[in-house]
Structure 1
């Protein structure tokens, strides 16, 4: 995880562009303590910021992964672009072939060689901001399933676009204020989440999964979809082939994400999703798998039914992970951490396990690891919740 932010259309005078970017990046400093990058084009009123977190990814070395400035282009990436569908054909001819940052090189090469298809040819969990200084165009996008977040505010009266990985960074831009959207609040209280592109605030929107925002200083803002979820069928002609293909794609994606990493952390509940991740990491030959589980040492039988410790231990023993357990006991005091948890929710969603995940994330960091794999939202990504497709 990294953090990106920026703006285009800023007035030529009256704003400290570098200072504004630094303030925006500071507000999301938790997303990237391992590097910070700022680029400004005063002529275009454009600024781009990037916080970098060194994590398990194909590009986990160096302090500039996910950021590049070359020629008239600048790009910042949160996440991992695992591959470009036509990378082998395009790489040799690319003017970006000498860029040391793999993900920036991949994104810019796709942009240069693939025309309007460039985003659809990128795989992996990512969001990106790409500035084409020659065309005076900004491109913002999220990955196909929306694993990474990206928000924006467009002020038509000033022809100003501000964007960031989190809403709190948007509000660091001078003169912008958050105004509660009561209709969004009503939706949240009814359904437990706020469907995109809405957020809890007026005039602040989220870019949807598989969506591309193009902002042109002359023509303004355009939104388009570069990818849509294909139809989900209830039956397949060859079940055995489908199972093999799913397994192949799952291992391929996971291998691309943790390629070369010696230590990988996993939130392990002992359920299907997280257990499959652990098994796959073992098959891929990851030397040290660190599993993290939380349970409850409470007398209440209703809470005991939610305890994951027993099942997680079985999986950890089966695959010989370096297993870490946390227990919430009767005397546990949540208040010192509770406001820190709440502060992370720029976009409200009713997730009753958010506090326990925060505790697990602390344990991961204390173990010296920066990133963690989880099985969260796997059912949604696999199309299990059919009601959301209707």
Structure 2
């Protein structure tokens, strides 16, 4: 009966991790199952609960559901945007896929630049709302689904989930205990697999916490030990964090792999990197693909620490931005008191704090948001007027501001909300694309629904009580090595990409710059733009522009 009225199309990479619990609930309601697949559980959950079933499924997913009794198509994306879902619609059809290149291959859309997506990318190297860099292609937003009337292809967007705003009534010690319990429950759930799993261990709080807990919940039928991986960049200019990752591996007794990423493979990855990514987004991503390739030689599933920074205040920019807001409010005549207690946590991050404060300290909220998100906005003045006029009065800063303007939380939580809606989906996009191209499933336990919703309910005053990401630090102290839990200044290990820009990758960059010059996307040659303004001479801008050129090359745009 079910399959006579419903057709389910599962998009690749769906993982509904609590399907066993749902299956048990459905069995108690009298539903019978012919398979053990999560797809059948999802179909019968819809039959039992209607669209309310979305409140019952957890995990990472993007799927389509057709209900012929209602002549409706539903396109659903998970709450945090871990898995992507894109669509193109016209008056007679709708086309959807988990990769934009599939839409292009289908012939439904052609590879052309979307002016709004271009405006987003030029300013923040990310995308707001449902924008993409391809004209006619939209992204379904995290925590939302589309209802499509198949009679006339009209679309209505529904938001089925958002971060909670009301703060829970609990003291700090209770919050720490609750957080620890939720993280343990999440990692246990996300370890559920019938194949061996592994974990990244950078030596920081997030990945170390996930790996430490995961070691306790392995499926002993398929693996005796946990494989852990850390990347090593001998030429990196940042702190050597091998002692921290080694300490975690020794602490949990994992089978640890120190991975020195081969430079020649990093270079080769750029041949089709932008085709793999679908569109330029976020920062330098080639090393992630090579790391995924190496991990896949050992396991099919890897756990990551994504989400901890964006949920629990892990970036020093938050302290600088809140300080800027307090100073600006105080100067404007409000009774706001400037709280200096968190300034001590900016030690080691003074340069970033100066940049944010220098751009925003006497401005309004829009200026603060621009200081946090804008990266290469000066480039917009060099974009072809045809694209600039096409966006009319559209403003990236207004788009960002509008996303959090109706939130009733304090200012710090508004900033965290913005990162959860804009920055985090960008980072997850890179992780998804660079892992799945190597047939590696990347899982993010800290983005479990229960952890995320608890982060939204935590009193804002708790978030920085013990410094950056202090709540996770406090919650995980009992299970982590002391040198890891007590390390307040992990800056992240980054591949020294800029050296490749000037040497091994110089010829490829030059060729893509020449290609950009031929397209007329910019009103001046790229090298002239880069040399014209001191503000623009930095490797981040080089990467941003080069990514556009490599994207145009990959998709044969223009």
Match of 1:110 in 2: 45
Which residue, 50, 68, 71 being the options, matches 1:133?
Answer: 68
**Within-5 A mapping of 1:88-103:** 88-93=24-29, 95=31, 97-103=32-38
* C-alpha separation in 2, matches of 1:194 and 1:207: 12
Other-structure match for 2:274? 342
**Aligned mates of 2:79, 2:30 — CA distance in 1:** 25
The residue aligned with 2:345 is none
What is the CA–CA distance in structure 2 between the aligned matches of 1:225 and 1:128, rounded to whole Å? 15
Q: 1:284 to 1:186 in 2, by over 3 A?
A: same
Give 1 or 2: higher strand fraction. Answer: 1
After TM superposition, list the pairs within 5 Å mapping 1:225-374 onto structure 2: 225-231=159-165, 233=167, 237-261=170-194, 263-285=196-218, 287-298=224-235, 303-328=236-261, 332=264, 334-352=266-284, 354-367=285-298, 369-374=299-304
Alpha-carbon distance in 2 for matches of 1:72, 1:116: 15
Aligned 8 A contact 1:262 1:288 in 2: no
Deviation, 1:306, is 4.6
Give the Å deviation of 1:143: 1.3
Who is 1:202 aligned against? 135
Q: Are residues 1:163 and 2:93 paired?
A: no
SS in 1 for 2:146: strand
**Structure 2 CA distance for aligned equivalents of residues 237 and 271 of structure 1:** 28
Distance 1:217 1:285, change over 3 A: closer
2:410: which partner in 1?
none
Map of 1:223 onto structure 2: 157
Q: Secondary structure at the match of 1:297?
A: coil
5 Å-filtered alignment, 1:134-153, equals 134-153=69-88
Label 1:190 to 1:254 Cα distance change in 2 as closer, same or farther (>3 A).
same
Larger RCO (alpha carbons 8 Å, 6+ apart) = 2
- How much is the aligned-residue C-alpha RMSD, in angstroms? 2.6
CA distance in 2 between counterparts of 1:268 and 1:379 reads: 15
User: 1: CA distance between counterparts of 2:69 and 2:311?
Assistant: 37
> Scaled by the length of structure 2, what TM-score is found?
0.52
* 1:35-70 deviation digits (Å, cap 9, x = unpaired): xxxxxxxxxxxxxxxxxxxxxxxxxxxxxxxxxx93
TM-score (structure 1 length as normaliser): 0.72
Residue ranges of structure 1 left out of the alignment (5+ in a row) = 1-68
CA deviation vs aligned residue, 1:195-249 (integer Å, no higher than 9, x gap): 231011122111111101111212522210111110164x852223222222222
State the secondary structure of the residue aligned to 1:171.
helix
User: Could you say if the C-alpha distance between residues 333 and 358 of structure 1 is closer, same or farther in structure 2, counting changes exceeding 3 Å?
Assistant: closer
Change (3 A) 1:230 1:276: same
8 Å Cα contact 2:17-2:190 kept in structure 1: yes
**SS of residue matched to 2:84:** coil
Consecutive unaligned residues of structure 2, counting only runs of 5 or more, are: 319-412, 419-558
Residues in 2 aligned to 1:167 and 1:204: alpha-carbon distance in whole angstroms: 8
> Deviations 1:165-194 (Å, cap 9, x if unpaired)?
111111121352122013322221211211
Given that 1:81 and 1:106 are in contact with CA atoms closer than 8 Å, whether structure 2 keeps it comes out as no
- The 3 A distance-change label for structure 1 pair 102 and 334 is closer
Higher share in helix: 2
Distance 1:383 1:213 in 2: 31
TM alignment of 1:178-197, pairs within 5 A: 178-197=111-130
Q: 1:377 aligns with which of 302, 307, 312?
A: 307
Asked whether the equivalents of residues 274 and 374 of structure 1 are also in contact (C-alpha less than 8 Å), the reply is yes
Aligned counterpart for 1:121 among listed residues 43, 52, 56:
56
Aligned length: 311
Return the alpha-carbon distance in structure 1 between the equivalents of residues 313 and 53 of structure 2.
25
- How far is 1:312 from its partner? 1.2
